[in-house]
Amino acid sequence: MDPAPEGLYLRAVIKPLYRFIRDQGYEVQDGKYVRRERDHEDIIGYDDVNQLFWYPEGIARIMLTDKTRLIDLAPAQRFMKFDQVDWNRAFFKTYIEKRTFLQLLVHFNRIWVIHISVFWFYTAWNSPSIYAPSGSSGVASTAMRLSASALGGAVATIIMIAATLAEFMFIPTTWNNTSHLTRRLFFFIVILGIVVAPTFYIIINNKSKSSIPAIVGAVQLGIAVLVTILFGVVPSGRMFGDRVAGKARKYLASQTFTASYPSMPRSARFASVMLWFLILSCKLVESYFFLTLSFKPSIKAMTGMIIQGCRDQLFGNALCQHQANFALAIMFVMDLVLFFLDTFLWYVIWNTVFSICRSFALGMSMWTSWKLLFTRLPKRIYGKLLATEQITVKYKPKILVSQIWNAIIISMYREHLLSIDHVKKLLYQQVTSESGQRALRAPLFFTSQDDRGLKGDFFPTHSEAER
C-alpha cells in the first residue's frame, strides 16, 4: 500500500471545513475579508457543523460532487474521497438562534410553572366569590373550590405545552429532535385533558348533595399538585424519553457532548438540594400568609362591584362602572409580581447563610478584608498547595510559591488578559542585593496592600483579570 501524500489530511479534511466556516461569516470585498451582515440564525456555525457528525442521519447527508453518498463507498475508499465532498450541501442549521422573548419561555419554563401554578393554587382557593354560582352570595361549594384550585395543574401543563411549541421555532423540523418534541407535546395534551376533565363533571353536578363531586375534586387537586411538582422539578428534556440517561443509541451523542455534566459529590448535591428546599419552603409559606391571605378580603369586596353614578363624555358608563374589575385585575398582576420577588428575597437570605457557612467550612472568614487576604496569599498558597507530607524540602517556600504565582500570571498574559507592563508588576523577580547576592523580590501587588503610600495599577481597569 502506497503511503498517503504529506499534508493530505490538512488539504482534504481540515482546509475545506475551515473554508466553509469562514465563508459563512466572511465575504471578500476589494480583496479583503469582511464580516458578513448576517444574523446568527442565518449562519451555519461551528455547533451546526459539529452536530452533523453526531447521528447516522447526518453522516448520510455527506455527498461527493458527483452526488455519490460517502457511506455508499467502501470504508477503505472513503478517506481518499474526502477532497471531493460537497460540504455546502451537507451542512444545515441544527438549531436556529432566534432573538425573541420566547427564549424565556423555553429555557425557564420550570420557573414559570413553580410560580404561576402555585399562585393559582393559592389565589383560586381563597377567592371563591369569583367563580361562585350567581345567587349564592359569593359562597362556592367545597367541590368547586377544590376543582378551581386544581386548575393550577392545567396552568402548569399549558405552560409546558407553550414552551414545547415555542421550541419548535428553534429546531428545524427536518432534524430528528422534533420527534422527541412531538412525543412530549402529545403527552402534555393528554395530561391537560386528565387535569381539566373533572372540572366539567363538577360544574354539571355542582348542585348535587352527593359527596362524589367533592371526592372527585380532591383527587383532581392531588393529581394537579403531583403534575406541578413533576413539571417544576424534572427538566422537560428528561420527560417521555430521557435524552440524558436514556440507553438508546440515538441519545449517545447528546450524552457524550452537550449533556455530559460532571457529577456532584454527595455533600455538594445535598447542600444544593437543601438550599433550594429552604428557599422554596420559606417562600411558599410566607407568600401564602402575607400575600394571598391579605389579598382575600379585597377580592371578596371588589368582585361584582359596579360603580354607579358615573358618566364619561366619550364612553358613558361602559368603562366607569367596571372600574373595580380593572383595579382588581391590576392588583392580581401586582400580587403575582410580588410572588416572584419573594423568591428572590429568600434566595438572597439563604444564599448568604450558606455562603457564610461555606466560607467557615473552608477556613475563611467573611469578615476578612480583601487587603489582608491578598497579603496572606503567598502563605495560603504554600499552606494549601505545597505543605504536604509528600513534598521534598529542596527549595525555600518563597521560591516554590513564586513558581506557582508566576505560572498563573504568565497564563493570564497568554490569554491576553494582562499586558506586558502589568505582568512586570505582578511577577516574582530575581534581583541583586547590596551585598551582591541574588534575592527573590515579591511583586508590589503583595507588599502594597499594607502600605497606603504604594498604590499601583496592577490590572487593566474593569477587566476580567481585575475581577
What is the reported pLDDT for 171? Answer: 82
What is the reported pLDDT for 258? Answer: 65
**Statement: residue 429 has pLDDT above 70:** yes
pLDDT by residue (tens digit) across 25-67? 888 888 888 888 888 888 888 888 888 888 788 888 888 888 8
* CA 12 to centroid of chain Cα atoms: 39
pLDDT by residue (tens digit) across 293-323? 998 888 888 887 877 777 767 766 777 777 8
Question: Could you tell me the three cell numbers for 216?
Answer: 372527585
Cα angle for residues 236, 240, 244 (degrees, 5° grid): 65
The 3-state DSSP class for residue 312 equals strand
pLDDT by residue (tens digit) across 99-127? 889 889 988 999 999 999 999 999 999 98
What is the reported pLDDT for 332? Answer: 92
The length of the chain in residues reads 467
Q: Nearest-CA neighbor of 82 among 184, 195, 196, 5?
A: 5
Q: What mean pLDDT is predicted for residues 337-361?
A: 91
Backbone angles phi, psi at 429, to 5 degrees: -130, 145
Question: Per-residue confidence at 246, pLDDT binned at 50, 70, 90?
Answer: low
Question: Could you tell me the three cell numbers for 5?
Answer: 501524500
What is the reported pLDDT for 456? Answer: 59
Q: What percent of the chain has pLDDT over 90?
A: 26
Q: What percent of the chain has pLDDT over 70?
A: 84
Q: How far is residue 22's CA from residue 221's CA, in Å, rounded to a whole number?
A: 56
